[in-house]
Chain A
Amino acid sequence: MSDHSEYRGSHPERDRRDDYAFDPSEEFIGLGGRRVSRRRALATGGALLGAAAAGPLIFTKVDAEGLLKSYLKTNLPYRANTSVKGHVVLWHHYGSPIRHNGIIQAINLFKKIYKGVSVSDVGFGFAADWTEMKTRIAAGSGIPDVVVSDRPKLYYDGARHHFYQDVSDLVKRDGLKMSAFWPFVQRDSIINKKIYGLGWETDCRTLYHLRATFIDAGLKPDVSPKTWNDLKRLADQLDGKGSSLNGYNTYGGKVVTFDPIQGYDYISWSWTNKGDAISPKGKPQFNSAREIDTANWVKGWLDRYGGFSTDQSISAHSQGSQASNPMTTKNTIFWVDTPTNEAVWLFYDLRFYTKDGKRINPFYSAALLPVNTGGKPYNLTGGFDLSMPRKKESAAQRNATWEFMKFMSLVGQQYFAQQVLAIPSVQRMAQTNSILKSFPNYSTFLKAMPWGKPNYHTNDPSLESDVASSDVVNAMWRGDKSVKDTLNAMQQNALTLESKPGQ
């Protein structure tokens, strides 16, 4: 019996011809040449007709892959050339089963559509792939075709050191609109009108709290502070609650409502106060009025709960599994985090209860970061692009690599994002993906994404972390040195580091 699977389901008449129950030579003469009565023949015929009607549902196989293929072929959101041939090597840093499965899913989908392109993916430890890639570029061999690149560093790795190719010729050729990506993704990927990557996964930061805690405190579970003043008012209500909240650690007799440097840093908070340590032109301004104001605000919060030593105790008491943080370990009420970590909490199936034993699900609520008067809820984003390392290759191979990059960025990315609750860097994809939209608080993340802060670049790629290093900043929080003096010293250091040779 032939398979005919390529058209099964679309031609039921032809399919039934091969069914053994439908043999016209047996209908009137019967098996073994015996005569069959009319009634029996009619009953048999009716049964056969019923079986024939149901046949396609029982005996045929819906060609799901074919349907998907034809849908995607006509609905790929870019000009696709599915006839390209080649082998693409992708390097990434996704070792966890969740993330790696997401990558594999997207790659498998690509291979179904692009029959002439084979793909190998290689996983590395985080950042080890970039180091390895640079040494391969120096050696001139073994260079991968596509790398999941560190988007904030494209300014240095792409535009300055040319580790990555400028793909603006391919973008222009295929009519790709970079405006499809979030604004900060565009800003980080396009440098001096050259394009060094297509957006891959990204995220945002929002303010979380446990809903059960708010219920126990007599507050509405999903109402979050919008401003710095709101935050202070809430803290005035919550700090003394201590024993009435279920299982919270107290510090100096108080529940710590808010510790601004747990999970975040004062420079990122300054963005909600109309400030920034680096100007849009890339000049350090660590001692601007807004930076000093924000640092004083942070210090005020720390001093409210006994000083920097309380923050250190919170860090010590919050250690544990990947799902442990000051909020989930009940050391603080508020916590700043990314949606990707929310996926970890869901994976661990964390459960939180009110004092009277009622399980609250979802157990957390998220909101835009609170702002100072006149400020905007800019938040720290990171994320990655797909980039093509600099290498000598044929035009055919480059085209195959480019098709892979386009597909993964503009189609495959959502399958990865669904697995790990990353936010797709393609705006429309993030806004319309039904699986992502089913996650709690996803609508909040979509509101936070336009406020993702683009990176302003200085001459020194590590200037901010070198200047605002933990020893300097923590001394400020401890009160060893005043805020103003510390930030003035940081500014001097920043100006010195800008002149470091070899950058």
Chain B
Amino acid sequence: MAELAVPKTEAVRKRPFLNQRRREALTGYLFASPWLFGFLALTLGPMLFSLYVSFTSYDIANPPHWIGLQNYQFIFQHDSDFTKALGNTLWYVTFKTPVVIVTSLFLAILMNQKVPGIKYYRTIFYMPTVITGVAAIFLWVWLLSPFGLVNNILGALHLPQQEWFLNPQYAKTGMIIMGTWYIGAPMLILLAGLNSIPRHLYEAAMIDGAGILRRFWNITLPMLSPTLFFIILTNVIGAFQVFNSAYVISTTAGGAGAQPGDPEKSLLFYEVYLYKYFGLSQMGYASALAWILFIVVLAITATQLYLSRRWVYYEGG
């Protein structure tokens, strides 16, 4: 049989490996590679190492020694301070978050009014956010001291004065009051969200006879829900990680000899408790505590994401 001659023009062309789609993808990865490298080397890598360390006895200067689940067993079975710290933190998250949300939403609505000089008011309310760190904390220790400005005002109004950071019953309440110092940032975000609500919705509602409260409930809140959800999520995660203020207040407000978590462990928040074990060079135990916190926060965040389907309205569908 004669061989069939295949014209060259019909020879099968090899597909190039880097087709356009792959080239675009590779370009994208190349642009993202600095971040990817940082994430792998500086975040995921240390996280995996700390997971390993949580099953060891490790003092940072000598090699880790494998002890299995002993750290976790002790935490759940014998460590009463773990329960105390977790309880304090959950209390703080539960009460601080709504206070911050409500206050910042109220302020955002106020700042959204068309009055002369409104931009100056916005600046004034945002400025405390700029004064961060230990300086702001010391300011609040002074304000809420037994002889501080807050008690002076309460006394002038014939209201009961408290010992705030010296009294275990009121120390966390003092922390929540202090938390309102930082509402500038959520206020701005909510303000941006308010400005993005289409005006025609309000106009239509007004034509239909809706009052202020009805418009707020049926238009403002639903349209603002994605922004509110973001702020709730970030505030909850931030509240779980409270450290600076609790540590500084507990070690300074009570004077010399005060321990982290004072008065009487009312300010023993989870990260303050965890930090203690870093100071004692018990990295394995501290890592186990850290991973428990991670799982708790992950669970709460996942729950919030699941529940958001019911109340968060995304305009795009």
B-side contacts of A503, CB under 8 Å: 57, 282
B-side contacts of A462, CB under 8 Å: 276, 280
Alpha-carbon separation in the docked complex, A462 to B78 (Å): 16
On whether the beta carbons of A501 and B259 are closer than 8 Å, the reply is no
On whether the beta carbons of B265 and A470 are closer than 8 Å, the reply is yes
Quick one: CB contact mask for B234-268 with A, threshold 8 Å, 1 for yes?
Answer: 00000000000000000000111101001111100
Asked if B70 is at the interface of the complex by the 8 Å CB criterion, the answer is yes
CB distance from B165 to the nearest CB of A (A): 10
Contacting chain A: which of B17-25, B38-46, B58-66, B94-102?
Answer: B58-66
Of residues 275 through 295 on chain A, the ones whose CB sits less than 8 Å from some CB of chain B are none
Asked if A482 is at the interface of the complex by the 8 Å CB criterion, the answer is no
| Total residues of chain A contacting the partner, CB 8 A | 35
Alpha-carbon separation in the docked complex, A406 to B284 (Å): 36
If A312-B166, A474-B264 touch, does A501 touch B255 (CB 8 Å cutoff)? Answer: no
Asked if B179 is at the interface of the complex by the 8 Å CB criterion, the answer is no
On whether the beta carbons of A470 and B285 are closer than 8 Å, the reply is no
Contacting chain B: which of A1-9, A132-140, A220-228?
Answer: A132-140
A-side contacts of B59, CB under 8 Å: 161
Asked if B117 is at the interface of the complex by the 8 Å CB criterion, the answer is no
On whether the beta carbons of B70 and A469 are closer than 8 Å, the reply is no
If A162-B61, A474-B264 touch, does A501 touch B280 (CB 8 Å cutoff)? Answer: no
Alpha-carbon separation in the docked complex, A152 to B67 (Å): 28
If A466-B81, A470-B264 touch, does A315 touch B61 (CB 8 Å cutoff)? Answer: no
Chain B residue, CB-CB nearest to A131: B279
Q: Which of B59, B79, B167 has the most CB of A within 10 A?
A: B59
Q: Which of B57, B60, B78, B263 has the most CB of A within 10 A?
A: B60
Chain A residue, CB-CB nearest to B282: A502
Asked if B180 is at the interface of the complex by the 8 Å CB criterion, the answer is no
Asked if A362 is at the interface of the complex by the 8 Å CB criterion, the answer is no
**Of A137, A390, A469, the contact of B259 (CB 8 Å cutoff):** A469
Asked if A500 is at the interface of the complex by the 8 Å CB criterion, the answer is yes
On whether the beta carbons of B265 and A502 are closer than 8 Å, the reply is no
7 additional A-B residue pairs with CB within 8 Å, beyond A470-B263, A501-B74: A127-B279, A161-B61, A316-B146, A469-B264, A471-B265, A474-B264, A502-B56
A-B pairs, top 8 by smallest CB distance, nearest first, are: A502-B57, A471-B264, A501-B70, A316-B146, A138-B60, A502-B284, A471-B265, A137-B61
- 21 pairs of residues in contact across A and B, judged by CB atoms under 8 Å: A127-B279, A131-B278, A134-B60, A156-B281, A161-B59, A161-B62, A161-B281, A162-B61, A312-B166, A316-B163, A319-B147, A390-B61, A469-B259, A469-B264, A470-B262, A470-B263, A501-B71, A501-B285, A502-B56, A502-B58, A503-B57
